[in-house]
Structure 1
Amino acid sequence: MTLGADIMNDGLGSVLADKRKKVISKYGIDVSTLPTKEELDERTRVEALKKVKLQKQEAWSTWNLYPAHQKIQFDFSKWKPDMQEDSSNAKELGKKAYLLAKRMKNETLNVLFVGAPGTGKTSLALAIAKELGKHTLFISTAELAALFDTDLKNSPDVKQKLKNVENAMIGIDVLIIDDLGTEGSMRFKNFGVTEKMQHLMYRVANGRFNFEKNKVARTTLITTNNSDDELN
């Protein structure tokens, strides 16, 4: 049976080779410019990886928690120092953030953005994430706290959403936690919301750290309006 299969394959190969010659001749194709089988396989592999990456990002993006549920995007081309009160300082900050993003393409780091409201912390965090070109998740702590404020016992859908959000926060390549500390000053019906948030942040922090190698496993970008004392 093996011999018969070989004969059939040889016969089929001859037919295909003949047809290939006819097509090349008919259309005047320059065979020297045709990709090799290896090149075609590599193209297929790259395209497949792109598709998987896109599908994965679409799956992750389901769990973004944007302020007021409005998607926000930003990149370095949109950074306008003249729009800031201290334009020279803003220009320097933009440059530092850009250089930091370049560095983070080869080094996994956590970054904390501290400053008054409106100074561009969130914008620069988004710009760095965009520059890295990795799967990114945006979490507004106010929106996250609002989910915790729900009556979870009678809201199984919200409870499941919180689990999904937490899993995404742990597994995503780049996590942006926006306005950390804001939730601590907000009023909620369930007084345990802050404690629950602390427990979640603790689990997320642990999940994003490689204890075996004692280093950061995945990038986390955190923005806050609070001082060190206020955060404590």
Structure 2
Amino acid sequence: MMKPINLKSDINRIITDKHIDVNHLPTKEQRDQWFIKMALNKLAYQKVHQFYRASVWSGNKPLRFTFNDWDVTKQANTAQAKALGNHAYKLAKQLQINDFNVVLAGDRGVGKTSLALAMMSLLMDAGRSVMFVSTAELLHLVNEKYNDDGIKIRLQSITAAMKEVEILVLDDFGTEGGMTGNIKPVHKDLQNMMYQVSNARVNFEKNKSRGATIITTNNNKQELKQMYENKLIDRVYPKNPNHQLLFDKMEGVRNV
């Protein structure tokens, strides 16, 4: 025979187990505010992860890197490596509340992508929506869209996300235009796509960035202008020297 339910006894047990002070229960207004806050936090979480899932990774393999992973001892010039790490960290902290573009420029394998990922990770933890796009992989998708309608639809979704995300990371920007010494204009469709994105990420009324774009590149600004429309490069490449991380004195060391 089932034991009868004693609701009052069960409630008293819960009150005792949870150490609830029944003399100081939240008001209806406080409960409503709590539920609203929980709902907003859930929406913010969904927004952040929605954009992250739209990322375009090289080889479809997501990458993770944090500032704790930045090992300066892997560089001969440890002082420069430390300075670059500190600079990237300070910029990431500023990007939590401000919008501006950042460039990490230098030779291959010096850690540009690693620090960009570290900035992205810190900003994602702070609640800003982030998206990583390998421009080389993006070019591959553009080339393949003629043979696959599914890729066309995916590119439309990627373009929309790139326009709206708060923090957009363009990795290896410029490799889609060829290696140094063999620079050529980028594929027309990719040009158009990037131009649309760059336009959408500018607040023309206030003459400032709408969201932040972080680019890593092996090329200088003039080389990038040989690949893309000059207006596009002027919009994504920051003019403020403090927003430019130059890896001039760094050696090519993978996983730095």
TM-score bracket, normalised by the shorter chain, equals 0.7 to 0.9
Equivalence for 2:112: 121
Q: For residues 1-232 of structure 1, what are the structure 2 equivalents within 5 Å?
A: 27=15, 29-133=20-124, 134-152=128-146, 154-185=147-178, 194-232=187-225
Tell me which stretches of 4 or more aligned residues in structure 1 moved more than 6 Å. none
Please tell me the residue identity of whatever aligns with 1:211.
Answer: F
CA drift at 1:24: 6.3
CA distance in 1, matches of 2:14, 2:113: 59
Q: Which is worse superposed, 134-143 or 47-56?
A: 47-56
Paired residues, number: 208
CA distance in 1, matches of 2:80, 2:52: 33
Equivalence for 1:4: none
- Could you say if the C-alpha distance between residues 132 and 58 of structure 1 is closer, same or farther in structure 2, counting changes exceeding 3 Å? closer
TM-score of the aligned structures, taking structure 2 as reference length: 0.73
- Could you say if the C-alpha distance between residues 229 and 36 of structure 1 is closer, same or farther in structure 2, counting changes exceeding 3 Å? same
CA distance in 2, matches of 1:199, 1:212: 23
Q: Secondary structure at the match of 2:187?
A: helix
CA distance in 1, matches of 2:140, 2:83: 36
Bigger radius of gyration among the two: 1
- Could you say if the C-alpha distance between residues 194 and 45 of structure 1 is closer, same or farther in structure 2, counting changes exceeding 3 Å? same
CA drift at 1:98: 1.1
Give ranges in structure 1 of 5+ residues lacking alignment: 1-18
Q: Secondary structure at the match of 1:149?
A: helix
Equivalence for 1:7: none
Q: Contact 1:67 / 1:140 at 8 angstroms: preserved in 2? A: yes
Please tell me the residue identity of whatever aligns with 1:70.
Answer: K
Q: Secondary structure at the match of 2:93?
A: helix
Give ranges in structure 2 of 5+ residues lacking alignment: 1-6, 226-256
- Could you say if the C-alpha distance between residues 74 and 32 of structure 1 is closer, same or farther in structure 2, counting changes exceeding 3 Å? farther
Please tell me the residue identity of whatever aligns with 2:141.
Answer: L
CA distance in 2, matches of 1:33, 1:219: 45
Root mean square deviation, CA, Å: 2.5
CA drift at 1:199: 1.5
Q: Contact 2:103 / 2:214 at 8 angstroms: preserved in 1? A: yes
CA distance in 2, matches of 1:44, 1:206: 38
Identity %: 39
CA drift at 1:79: 1.2
